[in-house]
Amino acid sequence: MQTIPYDVLIVGSGASGGWVAKEIAEGGLSVLMLEAGPPRVPTRDFTEHIWPYQLKFRGFGDQQRLLENQPVQRLCYACDDYSHQFFVNDHENPYTFPTGKPFMWIRGRQVGGRTFCWARESYRFSDYDFKAASRDGYGEDWPIGYAELAPYYDRVESFIGVSGSREGLEQFPDGQFLPPMALSCGALLARDIIGQKFGWRVMPDRVANLTVSYRGRPACHYCDQCQRGCHTASYFNSPSVTLPAAARTGRFTLVSDAVVSHVRIDSRGHAGGVHYIDRLSHRHREASARVVILAAGALESTRILLNSRSPLFSQGVGNEEGVLGHYLMDHFTVEGGGGFMPGLRSSSRELVGRPCGFIIPNYTNLAASRNPSFVRGYRFDGDGSQELYGHAFLSQEFGDAWRQKVREDIPYYFALEAQGECLPRKENYVTLDAERKDKWGIPALHIVASYGENERAMAKAMRQDIGAILNELKLEQRTPPADEISVFGKNIHECGTARMGDNPKTSVVDRNCKVHHVPNLFVTDGAVFPTQSCYEPTLTIMAISSRAGEHIAASFRRGEL
């Protein structure tokens, strides 16, 4: 079919794609965006204000349907009877992994990607993260540092709105914050005890929720159901924030339900566009542009590269040195630690609905004193809150006296978990499955990933620290942290597989996210991360995308693309 020659074609409409589109369209270039899924309609798809009695199964879910169509997705805390529409059908979107090495690939194919139901945690990396290899000798540094990315962190935070407190910690850089959310009573008590005993800072979580009206969007109304969508757009998602900014330029075109299979490479080794399949009709189509950007999510962008085989790139684009697909990372967590705070039992109700808790940043392996058992570090998060009704179901009592007791003797629970950095190891990789294909005939991914000795040693220290904190808080009916660490992929922070670097023999893209040896093909999502830090990647993905978008627009205007 005949195609319109756009300046730039972007695959993916989530956190990365939205920012790249905004920067490039505002830079004067025409943009075509392809998204594999449909648009979401708030009046139909958002359920944050739906009561259980309005649902057929009262919020417990049609288990047969969820088990049948979403056996992997339903393992995610946010996939339930309210919000399963934001997650893929696993039978239509299969992947494989070896026996004994399970992987959870949580996916959202729709305009906006996973930005509808993400946890909104927005943290900057520091040079402890970007230059970690220079400190401990493991792996490779990022080719860029904090000073280069800081202006783009500023730009992203100032546009999307991030609430947080300024703490002045080198390992956890401050940003352009809106006022922070208040800590709960339990978090305030924990802040004092943990600060005095361990010297660690307990602070309100840094989240992309608005605490004041900002750029035409109202402040968060604290319904605490962010994973179900947000009618008021009070937290960042690309369809409410970055995609409208791109559209306002008049140079942005969005095509939904376009499942991209591969990048088309011409005889010169340049990207000419992509091949895609209409999700509904299954018709094969092509789209052309002078520049192609993959922003479909780490694993999906890498799948497209691996499937982009041609006479010039027999093993996929960017795979000349066999690096593509390798060094997959995902955070791991030690969960389940908690107990009741006896001093906070009360008959008065605390303000509920807070969409975030607290965070304790990493204090491990920063200074001269290092833990000899492992490299890198971990951070904590958690919260304290009243158990308003949970305790009622534990009793066999009935009657007025029992109801009075439930109202006037409300227990207070404290929960804590730790999240650790996963090292980039070549043996953690993805490749195309030789036999399995998705509903549109595109080869599925085969994912081989497991945690190593460094992660297990770190997890041991994480459990010890959680136990020490719970002891200092003198909790009752204490629950120790879990013995097992989380399944690979569970944290939904997959990064790597098309990593950034100055050396084409050890990386897939350069410091500007351009694929080595292909002058007009870029990757801008979490696939480019050389290391992961112990902090959530989304803010850094957006900052990298903003930087890459600015670079692409400027290079295009100079005639370099």
Grade residue 279 by pLDDT with cuts at 50, 70 and 90: very high
Write the DSSP assignment of 45-71 as a string of letters: H--TT--GGGSTTTTS--HHHHHHH-T
**What's the average model confidence in pLDDT over 197-206?**
97
Determine the distance from the C-alpha atom of residue 370 to the mean position of all C-alpha atoms in its chain, rounded to a whole number. Answer: 29
pLDDT of 374 strictly over 50: yes
The secondary structure of residue 415, as a DSSP letter, is: E
Q: Is the pLDDT of residue 280 over 70?
A: yes
Q: Given pLDDT bands bounded at 50, 70 and 90, which one contains residue 391? A: low
pLDDT at 466: 97
pLDDT at 3 over 60: no
- pLDDT tops 70 at residue 396: no
| pLDDT tens per residue, range 453-479 | 999 999 999 999 999 999 999 999 999
Q: What is the pLDDT of residue 1?
A: 39
Residue 57 lies in a domain: no
532 touches 329 (CB < 8 A) = yes
56-104 pLDDT, tens digit per residue, is 777 776 666 767 899 999 999 999 889 999 999 999 999 999 999 999 9
Name the E strands within 387-494.
412-420, 429-437, 443-448, 476-479
> Which residues are registered as beta bridge partners of 420?
332, 378
- Pick the range with the lowest mean pLDDT from 32-41, 299-308, 350-359, 371-380: 350-359
Sequence-ordered list of residues with C-beta below 8 angstroms from that of 86, at least 6 positions apart, any chain: 40, 45, 78, 79, 108, 110, 114, 116, 117, 227, 229
Per-residue DSSP letter, 288: E
pLDDT score of 68: 86
Quick check: helix, strand or coil at residue 390? helix
pLDDT tens per residue across span 115-131:
999 999 999 999 999 99
**Rounded average pLDDT over 436-462:** 98
The yes-or-no verdict on residue 46 having pLDDT over 60 is yes
Residues pairing with 277 in the sheet:
259, 284
pLDDT tens digit sequence for 131-154:
999 999 999 999 999 999 999 999
Question: Binning pLDDT at 50, 70 and 90, where does residue 323 land?
Answer: very high
| Cα–Cα distance, 122 to 496 (Å, whole number) | 19
pLDDT at 505 over 80: yes
The Cβ of residue 415 has, within 10 Å, a number of other Cβ atoms equal to 18
Q: Is residue 27 part of a domain?
A: no
Mean per-residue pLDDT, 213-224: 94
Show the tokens assigned to 474. 């003198």
Position 359 scores a pLDDT of 98
Question: Is-contact 256 37, C-beta < 8 A?
Answer: yes
Instruction: Measure the CA–CA gap between 407 and 241, rounded to whole angstroms.
Output: 42
Is 301 inside a domain boundary? no
pLDDT class of 316 with cuts at 50, 70, 90 = very high
Residue numbers of the domain that contains 371: 169-228+332-420+451-487
Cβ-contact 498, 523 below 8 angstroms: yes
- In the numeric block, the tokens 């008959």 are attached to 347
Query: What is residue 61's predicted lDDT score, i.e. its pLDDT?
Result: 65
Q: What is the mean pLDDT of the chain?
A: 94
Q: How many domains, in total, are found in the chain?
A: 1
The answer to whether the beta carbons of residues 96 and 444 sit under 8 Å apart is yes
Considering only CA atoms, which of 204, 194, 140, 197 is closest in space to residue 172?
204
pLDDT of residue 4: 63
- Residue 187 resides in a domain: yes
Identify whether the C-beta of residue 414 lies closer than 8 Å to the C-beta of residue 345. no
SS3 state at 383: strand
Percentage above 90 pLDDT, the chain: 87
Cα distance between residue 462 and residue 485, in whole Å: 10
Q: pTM of the prediction?
A: 0.96
The yes-or-no verdict on residue 390 having pLDDT over 70 is no
On the question of pLDDT at 250 being above 90, the answer is yes
The first and second tokens of residue 296, run together, are: 């479909």
- HSE-up of 269 (CA within 13 Å, CB side)? 11
Indicate whether 124 belongs to any domain.
no
Report yes or no on 496 lying in a domain. Answer: no
Residue 383 falls inside a structural domain? yes
| Angle in degrees, CA 190, 194, 196, rounded to 5 | 120
The C-alpha atoms of residue 534 and residue 364 are separated, in whole angstroms, by: 11
Q: Which residues contact 102 (CB under 8 A, 6 or more apart)?
A: 487, 488
> What confidence score (pLDDT) does residue 369 get?
74
In a domain, 63, yes or no: no
| In the chain, % of residues over pLDDT 70 | 96
The answer for residues whose C-beta is within 8 angstroms of residue 469's C-beta and 6 or more apart is 190, 194, 198, 337, 380, 416
Q: Would you state the pLDDT for residue 63?
A: 66
Contact residues for 375 (Cβ-Cβ < 8 A; gap 6+): 132, 136, 138, 365, 423, 454
